[in-house]
A and B are shown apart, each in its own frame.
Chain A
Amino acid sequence: MPVQPLVAVRRYVGRWGLIVALAALPIYYGIHDLTYGYQAGYVAGHAVFRQDLSMLGYDLAQGLSNGAIWALIAIGYTLVYGIIELINFAHGDVFMIGSFTAVGLWGTFGLGLSTGALGLVGGLLVTLIITMIVTGSLNVLIERVAYRPLRNAPKLAPLITAVGFSFILQNVGLLWRGGSPQSVPDLIHVQQTVFSIAGVPIQRGYLLALAVMVPLVFALGWFISRTRAGRAMRATAQDPEAARLMGINVNATISLTFLLGGMLAGAAGLVYALYETNIWYFQGFKAGLIAFTAAVMGGIGNVRGAVLGGLIIGVIQSLADSRIGPQWTEAVVFGYLIAIMIMRPRGLLGEETREAG
């Protein structure tokens, strides 16, 4: 069937328009830094201006490491959306519970600033595993209670129970640790510079975020593409009915998907607590929205897209934080979300779906 010229033009504009929109911020500030320069601090009471790209590099490094956390959460959204076409609104709050669990476990294990390096690494690894199990099971439980009974109901119904569970989890967090942000011990000294690349200091936090994200993403990729259960997941995502006819236990597969998504959210929660060194019950809501934006940006249902989207959103966020002002960051991120929805609802790597034509 020949593609209508107008549709072809729209597609072209869609993809390239999105790429231009995404590249706009870093390119603009890069040129700005090189031509006008930026204020690099004060020497003897006078503002010092510099004209190079190291501040942009700093923003990018910060953004990519932040983005690694968003990517882990975004994968949870994208997996769940891919398999049952539901925006799991409670996912961000599962991530929050992950942070709270991790911090609670540090207390239980007695991890503190005085713990030695070996104990710290071991303790954090054990914490990571337990946190992942807790959040994974929580996610499975939510699916079992709130989404499975509504499998055949109109699509609005599970979305509403998801929102309901999001509020329930937020209040669990509120009762658990109170209503204001709490600082947690800076166990690994996240701001300490390890080495620098071209004048851009690489802090411990950056390495931590990547060190957790990269292996998990590769493990997930291997699981989905190589194992029998992963193949069942892909089959169910394509066509649940046909998968069931082929002998796949669809309910178990969906539970498995929620388990994986919840585990990644738990890992992200631990990294977030270490990285930001403060936690509060509302963190999940914002993180959830940002990560969802990332998932949509990359193309929802696509794991690689979620990682890419997470990293891009992280960079946008850090640029907005340092250049426009942190109070506007949320508006910038959501502005991008709307722009993507207008230009290319299926995202950067996504395929055309019925929902987003």
Chain B
Amino acid sequence: MSELRAQLREWRDAVQKRLPPWRSRALAGLLIVIGIVLPFFFPPSSGFMNATIIAVAYAVMALGLNVVVGFAGLLDLGYVAFYALGAYSLGWFGSGFFFKAHVHVLVSPVTRTLPGIHLNFILLLAGAAIICAVAGMLIGLPTLRLRGDYIAIVTLAFGEIIGVVAVNGQSVGVGGGMTLTAGNLGISAVDQPYFPGIGLFDLLNLRPWYWLILAIMLFVLFVNLRLRDSRLGRAWIALREDEIAAVSMGIPLVRTKLLAYSIGAAFGGMSGAFFGTYYTEVNAGQFQFGFSIFILAMVIIGGLGSIWGAVVGGLALGYINNYLIPDVLNGLPGKFGLNFQLTQVEFGIFGFLLVIMMLLRPQGLIPERRRRLELTAKIAAEDSQLMEAQGTIGGST
């Protein structure tokens, strides 16, 4: 087994040596082009397109959570809070929910006649990001003195509190007969995105939705890649690896941690806002603890701290959850004579995936290099041998 692995590594290195140095950029460009032309191969309102849109939006969330959990090592079990806040900021400022207000900014001619607050989708996206960034900071504050599992519990508690407020917001008045949320009834008739020159999106043609979320994902991906290699990104990784050492080297603990929370939250909020408009309603029932775990599973299956891993994990679980389980494999237990549907046990399946992943391949599908070293002592040992070997070569020449 290890010989095979070594052989594979050798071949990979040999292939990589022959390829030109711009190969990774070419690959990224190729993937982006494939991503852009993908909708032309499927009917504009097929179930597959729907699953793809949701999967890409999940990938955006996974990228956001990856900043908090993967880069900064702060286990956030309440990420659903930012999904909720993002979706609600869309529901509040992009629908007739606050019916006493009349605010319209760059919306379609039809929407302009409706009561409520109606902002352009780009403004909503930015607004959701800002609201979530602030909320992320507030949630982060109490965890600053804590470490490890305690952070997980505090974030979980915040996520649950926001879920409870979302469900019960119906009974919280904000003046003028208007309430904070619509609870389990949901804020419905949310505006569809509208861009001057392009027109209003509608759910019969999913292609523009796909390009919109793809654009959001590429933006988030770009920000993520730049952040990882920035001073801030290195500070996060240093904090994750050893907090005491990092602080004594002059990394500002409070600012660095809070930035991780707020940036991760902002991405989650953007995706949440997109989900709000795509599902055309903001329903409190969507914001369950299971969702936080679902996003966490994406990050872990992809590989903690690995940007491409988060994308792959998000897409993979998105497709499994929205295409493979409900559309393809749903009747499978029935074929074995079992009396249930696979969608009922999807969280069990994710739980199983999490356990298996942690036991067999804790570094994830596309591991980050540093994490891989940490988790697989064997590879770490090999690498250290390699270092020694290089050292002796360097010494003899």
Contact = CB atoms under 8 A, between A and B. Distances in A.
Overall SS of chain B's interface: helix
B119 interface: no
Interface in B325-350: 340, 344-345, 347-348, 350
A122 B14 CA distance: 74
A163 to B, nearest CB: 6
A153 B362 contact: yes
A328 interface: yes
A175 B359 CA distance: 25
A157 B358 contact: yes
Given A161-B354, A164-B355, A179-B344, A334 B160 contact: yes
Interface residues of B, number: 45
Interface in B25-54: none
Contacts of B295: none
Contacts of A149: 359
A86 to B, nearest CB: 8
Interface in B132-153: 142-143, 145-150, 152-153
Contacts of A292: 153
A145 B355 CA distance: 9
B169 to A, nearest CB: 11
Interface in A326-357: 327-328, 330-331, 334-335, 337-338, 341-342, 345, 354-357
A331 B157 CA distance: 8
Contact of B347 (A158, A170, A334, A335): A170
Interface residues of A, number: 48
Interface string B305-340: 000000000000000000000000000000000001
A160 interface: yes
B168 A167 contact: no
Contact of A341 (B153, B167, B350): B153
B351 A87 contact: no
B164 A327 contact: yes
Contact of A165 (B160, B340, B355): B355
Contact of A330 (B153, B160, B340, B355): B160
Given A87-B153, A292-B153, A328-B164, A166 B146 contact: no
Contact of A164 (B165, B340, B353): B353
Nearest to B149: A87
B358 A342 contact: no
A301 to B, nearest CB: 12
Contacts of A355: 146-150
A168 B164 contact: no
Interface string B278-310: 000000000001100100100010001000000
B245 to A, nearest CB: 15
A63 to B, nearest CB: 20
Interface in A286-341: 289, 292-293, 296, 327-328, 330-331, 334-335, 337-338, 341
B140 to A, nearest CB: 12
Given A156-B304, A285-B289, A327-B168, 5 more contacts: A146-B359, A175-B340, A293-B157, A330-B164, A331-B161
26 contacts: A153-B362, A154-B375, A155-B148, A159-B75, A159-B149, A163-B296, A163-B354, A167-B347, A167-B348, A167-B352, A168-B348, A168-B352, A168-B355, A170-B347, A170-B351, A171-B344, A171-B351, A179-B344, A335-B161, A338-B142, A341-B142, A341-B146, A341-B154, A345-B146, A355-B146, A357-B145
